[in-house]
């Protein structure tokens, strides 16, 4: 054991866990330098708004969610208002986010649960958040990390894809990915790591054609070469904003 990290070869890349930890932390630092403005791209002003927006973000883009939440929050600004919301009205407002009937059902139940169980306030603990309708660990970590300042790893499709491409884990299950990455990245960095990887996944390390030749962690990535390696061609693939 060196520095509290056991040196084993039970890692996806065959490197020791110590080497994996050092490489992962180096990659995080380089990506944080590339994306100093990485942040939650859902618009919100309080924990309630972030919780609702995160539930709406399933199977759609943050940009789309940000287009519908102003009207939703104007009509239903808190849990008490949402608990008594008109179902058809909510469905109409959020229709463009997709799966609007299921999302409406979750939101109405969420409002009732917050009022009945937490006096209308969003709880600041994982154990309480995951008991709420429509809230899993991913959503809870978004809220904890961005509304309450509690470090959390948010494993969305981008985060999971990059964690595996980087050789940080071979796990597919989001909860297992969360725990595996949490074991090699310092807890204080968990929330920002989530933002940085999402930014990188949306802008550079795309699912189908990653811009390897324009990647700041290319020399540390075991998956280098799965995408475009020519610097100029790769640069043309880099997005400056999230897709709509």
Do 205 and 23 meet the contact criterion of CB atoms below 8 Å apart? no
Is 128 noted as a catalytic residue in this protein?
no
Structure tokens given for 188: 């204080």
Q: Which of 156, 173, 176, 208 is catalytic?
A: 156
Is 37 noted as a catalytic residue in this protein?
no
What own/partner pairs with CB < 8 Å and gap ≥ 24 does 169-175 have? 169/12, 170/12, 174/137, 174/138, 175/137
Task: End-to-end CA distance of the chain: give it in Å, rounded.
Answer: 47
Q: Which residues of 136-147 are buried (b: 16+ CB within 10 A; e: fewer)?
A: ebbbbbbbbbbb
Q: Give the single-character DSSP code of 5.
A: B
Rounded Cα gap, residues 121 and 165, in angstroms:
39
Only one residue has tokens 């102003």, namely: 70
Q: Is 81 exposed, middle or buried (0-12, 13-18, 19+ CB in 10 A)?
A: middle
Active site (catalytic) residues: 138, 156
């Amino acid at each position: 054991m060196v520095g509290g990290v056991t040196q084993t070869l039970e890692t996806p890349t065959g490197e020791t866990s110590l080497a994996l930890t050092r490489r992962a932390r180096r990659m995080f630092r380089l990506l944080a330098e590339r994306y100093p403005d990485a942040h939650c791209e859902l618009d919100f002003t309080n924990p309630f708004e972030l919780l609702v927006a995160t539930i709406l973000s399933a199977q759609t883009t943050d940009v789309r969610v940000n287009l519908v939440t102003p009207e939703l929050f104007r009509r239903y600004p808190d849990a008490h208002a949402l608990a008594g919301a008109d179902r058809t009205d909510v469905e109409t407002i959020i229709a463009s986010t997709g799966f609007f009937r299921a999302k409406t059902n979750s939101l109405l139940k969420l409002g009732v649960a917050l009022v009945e169980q937490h006096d209308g306030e969003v709880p600041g603990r994982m154990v309480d958040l995951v008991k709420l309708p429509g809230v899993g660990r991913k959503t809870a970590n978004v809220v904890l990390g961005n509304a309450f300042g509690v470090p959390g790893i948010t494993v969305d499709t981008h985060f999971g894809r990059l964690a595996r491409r980087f050789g940080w884990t071979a796990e597919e299950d989001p909860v297992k990915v969360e725990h595996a990455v949490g074991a090699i990245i310092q807890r204080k960095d968990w929330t920002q790591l989530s933002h940085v990887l999402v930014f990188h996944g949306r802008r550079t390390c795309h699912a189908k054609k990653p811009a390897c030749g324009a990647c700041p962690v290319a020399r540390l990535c075991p998956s280098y070469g799965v995408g475009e390696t020519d610097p100029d061609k790769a640069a043309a693939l880099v997005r400056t904003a999230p897709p709509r």
